[in-house]
Amino acid sequence: MNENIDNVLNELWEENLKKFPFKGYINPARKSAYCAMSKMLHPHVPANSKILDFGCGPLDKTFMFKSLSNDLYAFDTLEDIWHTVDGNDSTIKKYAKDSGINFIDNFNDIKNHQYDVIMLHDVVEHFHMSPKSLLNELIGYLKDGGLLVLTVPNAGNIRKRFHLMKGKTNYPRYEYFYWYPGKWDGHVREYVRGDLDSLVHFLGLNKVELHTFHIHLDALSKVARPIWRAVSTLIPNTRDSFYLIARKPDGWIPRHKPTKEEFETAFGRQYFSRLLDQEKLKWE
């Protein structure tokens, strides 16, 4: 787009707040985070690239990526508990249609396209299994030179460090976990910088950017926010979230099986020798 990206994002933010069908869901104090997620990707994405937002939820973040492209796809199973009540799943699909976003709720339909960008925002920390198989499959639907984009919570952010020192949890609140109806859909494994570097290596991608940013500054008072911004500028790994951009190289092939050295590092010599033989394991 030729317009200034900040102006475009401001207009989209106001439009999203006005039209988003679930009132009170979008926290106005998180405007900078919503805009940053699109702005950080903007220099790397040609105009009107084909973009897939995988695990899009109610499209509150997806809407902001209209600043990057008019060829925007969004996938979600809409199986979270709140998606399944009061016709919320139908409301989300209607918002996609009204917003010019191509909504996909059948995973097989993803395969009908080759994408320039596939993004997963605040998704992989919810997985109960390794992201290996899913991410390898999704990368297969990227064009050569295409981008995989992840945002994940920082397991080592400063709030969690202070909570641990005070005897509080660095996991989701226990009462939230305890009373959650049905299968747990909250965070299972959050990430640190080294995890994401390893993920890029295991997937055979080329890292473009990996940095931290703030999503939850609204948890602080307006007085505390500028102080915290200054502190986290000096110590970036204390911010609450990571933003990863990685590029698919030409000739990429998926790798589901570790090397011998990776296997022994992952499982340990004792575990390796007593229980496992990687040649007998199913790696898919």
Cβ atoms of residues 241 and 187 within 8 Å: no
Cβ atoms of residues 42 and 68 within 8 Å: yes
- 227 burial (CB, 10 Å; 0-12 / 13-18 / 19+) is exposed
C-alpha distances in Å from residue 112, one per residue of 45, 108, 109, 120, 203: 21, 8, 6, 19, 22
pLDDT by residue for the chain (284 residues), tens digit each?
A: 445 899 999 999 999 999 999 999 999 888 989 999 999 999 999 888 999 999 999 999 999 999 999 999 999 999 888 888 899 999 999 999 999 999 999 999 999 899 999 999 999 999 999 999 999 999 999 999 999 999 999 998 888 888 888 888 888 889 999 999 888 888 999 999 999 999 999 999 999 999 999 888 777 778 878 888 888 888 888 899 999 999 999 999 999 999 888 988 888 766 666 666 777 777 77
CA-to-CA distance for 172 and 179, rounded, in angstroms?
Answer: 12
Closest to 187 measured CA to CA, from 123, 122, 125: 125
pLDDT at 29: 85
Whole-prediction pTM value?
0.91
DSSP structure class, residue 154:
B
CA-to-CA distance for 203 and 75, rounded, in angstroms?
Answer: 22
* Max CA separation in the chain (angstroms): 62
pLDDT at 1: 43
CA-to-CA distance for 127 and 271, rounded, in angstroms?
Answer: 24
| CATH code 3.40.50.150 region(s) in the chain | 5-156+185-249
CATH level 2 (architecture), domain 5-156+185-249: 3-Layer(aba) Sandwich (3.40)
Pairing of strands 142-153, 115-121: parallel
Pairing of strands 206-213, 241-247: antiparallel
